[in-house]
Structure 1
Amino acid sequence: MSDPVKEQVGDYVNKKSKILIITLEPIGKKMAGPAIRALEIGKRLCRDFEVTVASTVKVEDGIDKSSLPPNLKLVEGAGKKMIARLALIHSAIFIQANVLKPFPFLGNMDKHLIVDLYDPYLFSVLVQYKDDPVQAESSYRLMHQVLEKHMIKADFTVCASERQRDYWLGRFCALGRLNPEIYAVDRSLRKLIDVVPYGVPEEIPTKLPGKGLRERLPQLGDAPVLLWGGGIWDWFDPLTVINAVHQALQERPDLKLVFMGTKSPNPKVPVMDMTEKARRLCDELDMTGKSAFFLDGWVPYQERASCLLDATVAVSAHFDLPETRFSFRTRVLDYFWCGMPILTTEGDRLADLIAAKGAGFALPYQDVAAWKAAILEMTGKNSQELQKVKEASRALGQEFLWDKNVEPLRKFLENPHHLPDYKKVTMPNLLERAHAVYRRGGKELILKRSAELFGDILK
């Protein structure tokens, strides 16, 4: 009888630790951030470990498995039985922070469990369902519980930035996962949570024949192009950019704005309201097909550089929200990789770097006038000035190379640990408090504090 796990995974050399990476996103020619992160981390870790990347989604347009490194196996369309069997033959499991919802048993196996907290998705839930209180309440409570389960069960967690880490440390503290026992294990708390940013490939980006943005949209010609390099989610602000371009057209009539993604490759992710709002605004301003263009669907992962390298300036705009402050935009890393001048809204960690390093401008929230001025200034730079901005952007990319980013994961996997089991925080009883007071000050302090101790009992 055939073994479905062996059919998908094959034989390993069996000399290294085995790591299972699980994502609920499709891994194929078209991928969004979570799937890309799972695959790219797997590619780097497989240099030192045997890695299986498992996606629960089966896609028709899959990637060529023969192109993967020899120590990296890819499993698609994995259901509960497949995930359970894969988990049994791996020593460590790396999951994104929604995986325990369909596969709760992964949290109860005697494996080293690593949870990826790079997406603080509760903030996105608040935005996405803001106009539907019933859906908002249900979705928030559900995902809040799902998230806490991951935080409780994990032996190690990672996030995308030090700013995110501050947020997660606060959450761990409020949850009671950060306690004296954990602190005794590691006072830096890096064994609880460390930073693994989204990354940039080591190879130089190149254009593929026939896949460039101007080849896809001949209407662009040689015009200066502003490129929105990803999906139009509800927590983004394309409307300010569209209005700014519309105003800038009066002084720069050849300007073009292109939106590179309108529909997530994950079939479970709907076209969001903001996508429709952006389309409607372009229609109302008579920009659609003239100065504003939407690429339907999603650009394949291996073709994204061909689009980015054809653009003049990359843009990303968002609102003054907690989601913004703790975000780590996948698309901006691609902008760095391709050495693109960047216009973005202020407020997140990458925007701070863009402004500080001269890789573009970080602009005030929803400020159409500021965006218009920045668009005209950036597209009006001469080639020498523009090259300086491009070099600054490319240099930022070198700070986020995937191989360097995964080092905390590599260190954990070389010397894995189990954290002490989670204990719900409860009020200490009288005996425990008396013992603590005695340890601190002996019988004298016990007598001094006795009224307080017994008073608490009577409350």
Structure 2
Amino acid sequence: MAEALADACDVRVVSWNRIERTSERFGLHAVHESDDAAIAVHEQWCDVIVVQGVSFRMFPSVRTSAKIVVADLYDPFQLEQLELNKFSDERTWNEEVRKAVSLINEQLLRADAVLCASERQRDLWLGALSTLGRLNPSTYRADETFSSFVRIVPFGLPVAPPVRTRPALKGIVPGIDDGDVVLIWGGGIYNWFDPVSLIEAMGVLRDSHPHVKLFFLSASHFNPDVPEMQVVADTVGAAERLGLRDRTVFFNDSWVDYDDRVNYLLDADIGVSTHVVHAETRFSFRTRLLDYLWAGLPIIATEGDTFADVITSQGLGAVVPEKDAAALAAAIATLAEPGARAAAAARVRAVAEAYTWPQALSPLVDFCTAPVHAADHGTRPAGLTCGDRFERILAMPRGRRRDLALLRYYLTSGGFRLVREKVAERRERLGRNV
């Protein structure tokens, strides 16, 4: 994103996580979590701030900035939280969902423009903006379609084709040979996915297609704040129960470096992504599928999301019903044939051109080269218009007053045990950012 924006704008990327990459085309700056003085330097420098996640909560100078603010909501993380925490206790599940909704509402109330990843997401955010009063006479007068207010800016692909720098799978991973057909699961394993049905499909193919292998790129997440999910244990357990682990199904236990992932993609033959059909699915934009496009891999995916429609209409592989191991096995068997795989791969490479970063980012580039406040800027409420006690506390500026309010809330909600848990979580999080 920063590379593409840098063609038209001066760009700084500011993060409270460690920054290991470098660029001569834009600035990269690391700040400590909640170090508002450090972030204020960059806030004063810029004309436009692109934010996502917890930025408003962490940095008051961003939240109260008079600069033009773009809310990047390509990830509807309030729906993720419904899946992410569904195996937690009821209090935690409710708390995490309320946090996410509160964070999103705060951004929607302040944003001068909103970014989303698809037409479906655009409908989602227009509905949310409407309930918050942002689709009002002022913004309607400025643009009756609201297309300049909510812009479709999905994730993008590098313009340059991928280049292998080393072999990664075939002849390298014990059990995966040069002549095998390799399916790659190109990312983490999360609760909203359905890898177990994929494992079961591999069981169906074990005897008829022993040369078909499945490789999970990562069974763990690079971010320690993201806990290991129940589905990881379920997936590994299914592979072991069926006797497939390290025979036709393989798990990489570490997170692959960004620049090294290309070697795994180019050693694979088919990209796979299977999920459960629910609310998160409908509005998701699976960035791993873009990696498959970039690498020219035919795709096998579950129905229900935006990309499934693209795969079907463009003939990029196969789309199957959810939790249907037999349909998955049939799709894998079809694309294991060289002719079918080559034909689908050619169509994938043709479609990929439409998803390069310059193409995907053009609506944001247009906005940033001629930025304007939303038509209702200065007339809308500065904070949440609704919410329970917990949401109102989360919306407070970070500092002692907010900490004391949280302390009182946790004491009344869960007693000293809950307070100890929350203090330990904060210490661990702050320790990782030193």
TM-score of the aligned structures, taking structure 1 as reference length:
0.79
Note if 1:48 corresponds to 2:5. Answer: no
- Give the alignment's Cα RMSD to 1 decimal: 1.6
| Partner Cα distance (1:129, 1:214) in 2 | 37
Deviations 1:132-158 (A, max 9, x none): 211111111121111100000111111
- 5 Å matches for 1:137-176? 137-176=94-133
Per the alignment, do residues 77 and 294 of structure 1 end up closer, same or farther by CA in structure 2, a change over 3 Å counting? farther
Query: How far apart in 1 are the matches of 2:32 and 2:352?
Result: 34
Alignment of 1:341-360 (within 5 A): 341-360=298-317
Give SS of 2:175's match: helix
Match of 1:7 in 2: none
Which structure: larger Rg?
1
- The alignment partner of 1:213 has SS state of coil
Match of 1:389 in 2: 344
Match of 1:411 among 348, 366, 370: 366
TM-score, scaled relative to structure 2: 0.84
1:108 aligned residue: 64
Q: Is the 8 A contact 2:318 2:331 kept in 1?
A: yes
2:297 corresponds in structure 1 to 340
Letter in 2 for 1:48: A
Contact 1:43 1:69 in 2 (8 A): no
Q: Per-residue CA shift, 1:36-93, capped at 9, x if unaligned?
A: xxxxx1111111111111111126xx22x2xx233x0111244422212211111111
Task: State the secondary structure of the residue aligned to 1:219.
Answer: coil
Q: Is the Cα contact below 8 Å between 1:359 and 1:389 reproduced in 2? A: yes
1:251 aligns with 2:212: no
- 1:84 equivalent in alignment to 2:43: no
Equivalent in the alignment of 2:422: none
* Structure 2 equivalent of residue 135 of structure 1: 92
Partner of 1:281: 238
SS at 2:8 equivalent? coil
Specify the SS of the correspondent of 1:101.
Answer: helix
- Is the contact made by 1:97 and 1:115 (CA closer than 8 Å) also made in structure 2? no
Bigger relative contact order, structure 1 or 2 (CA pairs below 8 A, ≥6 apart): 2
Matches within 5 A, 1:345-384: 345-379=302-336, 381-382=337-338, 384=339
Alignment length (residue pairs)? 377
- Give the 3 Å change call, closer, same or farther, for CA 152–215 of structure 1 in structure 2: farther
Asked if 2 retains the 8 angstrom alpha-carbon contact of 1:213 and 1:308, the reply is no
Point out the more displaced range, 268-277 or 235-244: 268-277
The verdict on how the C-alpha distance between 1:105 and 1:216 changes in structure 2, with shifts beyond 3 A counting, is: farther
**In structure 1, what residue type is equivalent to 2:92?**
Q
Residues 93 and 423 of structure 1: CA distance in aligned 2, closer, same or farther (over 3 Å): closer
User: 1:106, 1:251 → 2: CA distance?
Assistant: 58
Is contact 2:175-2:248 (8 Å) kept? no
Runs of 4+ residues over 6 Å off in structure 1: none
Q: Which residue of 1 aligns with 2:280?
A: 323
Superposition pairs of residues 226-265 of structure 1, within 5 angstroms = 226-265=183-222
1:73 paired with 2:27, answer: yes
CA distance in 1, matches of 2:32, 2:152: 28
Q: Which runs of 5+ in 2 are unaligned?
A: 386-434
CA distance in 2, matches of 1:98, 1:279: 32
Aligned letter for 2:259?
A: Q
- Read off the aligned partner of 2:335 and give its amino acid letter: M
CA contact under 8 A between 1:46 and 1:69: conserved in structure 2?
A: no
Q: Which residue of structure 1 aligns with residue 391 of structure 2?
A: none
Unpaired runs of 5+ residues, structure 1, are 1-40, 427-459
Instruction: Tell me the residue number matched to 1:58.
Output: 18
